[in-house]
């Protein structure tokens, strides 16, 4: 997956978890919890969706990397580089 595909995959997961939020206004460097209404359970849902959709285990010590969109992309892109974006 390319960087753009990883970003799109993250946005798809966020849209499923917070369907009422406007994903078009997500800023890459700002904390996701500050931009959309995510609580700790929503965050765990994101981690679970990553496991379910891409078979990626994110250890708790790495959760901090998923705080911003740019952090998510930087952390996940190397793990997903050999995968294809699901249609």
- The tens digit of pLDDT for each residue in 24-81 reads 989 999 999 889 988 889 999 999 999 999 999 999 999 999 999 999 999 999 998 8
Tokens found for residue 54: 């891409």
Residue 9: the pLDDT is 93
- Greater confidence (83 vs 2) lies with 2
Mean pLDDT for all residues in the chain: 91
- Please name each of the domains of the chain with its CATH number: 3-21+32-80 (1.10.1200.10)
Residue 87: the pLDDT is 47
For the residues of 8-75, what is the DSSP string, one character each?
A: HHHHHHHHHHSTTS-GGG--TTSBHHHHS---HHHHHHHHHHHHHHH-----GGGGGGGSBHHHHHHH
pLDDT at 85 over 70: no
């Amino acid at each position: 997956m390319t960087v753009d595909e990883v970003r799109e995959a993250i946005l798809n997961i966020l849209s499923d978890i917070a369907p009422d939020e406007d994903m078009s206004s997500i800023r890459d460097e700002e904390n996701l919890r500050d931009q959309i209404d995510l609580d700790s359970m929503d965050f765990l849902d994101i981690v679970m969706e990553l496991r379910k959709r891409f078979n990626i285990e994110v250890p708790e010590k790495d959760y901090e990397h998923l705080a911003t969109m740019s952090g998510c992309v930087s952390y996940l892109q190397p793990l997903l580089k050999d995968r294809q974006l699901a249609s």
